Amino acid sequence: MDPYPTMPINFFAGRKYVNNKNEEIAFDYGSKISFIGLFFTGSWCPPCEKFAEELVEVYNEANSKERIMEIIQVSNEKNEKEFSEGIANKPWIFVQYNDQFIDFLVHEYKVNYLPVFLVLTKDRNIISDTGRRDFIENGVKVHEKWLRTFKAQKEREREMANLHS
């Protein structure tokens, strides 16, 4: 039986996550969040850790004026100690260690290697499945590219809705 049969718009909200102190928190993205980054990583993976350092800059830059982006880290760790060490000093939220949701997300987004950084709308439409390459090409202001893509998607959705009404 599928544990996540029909995906509601608030698919990521309402779940339990942890912060960088491994304290349980709820995620409510509210109206200001334009997009969500899914960061598939492992603390044992040097390229993942290097990208995580760069991603902190992107996250802070994107949210410098108002919070428009949230990152949900999906960690592949060998044990809870590695998980706790791997989340320290990162400003975003994390799927809890050993949560079945990790396996679901890995399967849902066909993650076969690390690191992977996907950028999604709140209703799970993919803005970019090449988030890491986007960063390499655009630098710390890459969130501006993602925001333009998000706005273009929303405009297309409005146009389609108008055609059908």
- Identify each DSSP E strand in the chain by its residue range: 16-18, 24-26, 35-41, 69-75, 93-95, 116-120, 126-128
The string of pLDDT tens digits covering residues 80-97 is 999 999 999 999 999 999
Full set of structural domains in the chain with CATH: 31-163 (3.40.30.10)
Is the CB of residue 92 less than 8 Å from the CB of residue 62?
no
Name residues whose C-beta falls within 8 Å of residue 122's C-beta, 6 or more positions apart in sequence: 9, 10, 12, 13, 29, 33, 35, 36
Q: What pTM, to 2 d.p., does this model score? A: 0.89
pLDDT tier at 2, thresholds 50, 70, 90: very low
pLDDT of amino acid 109: 94
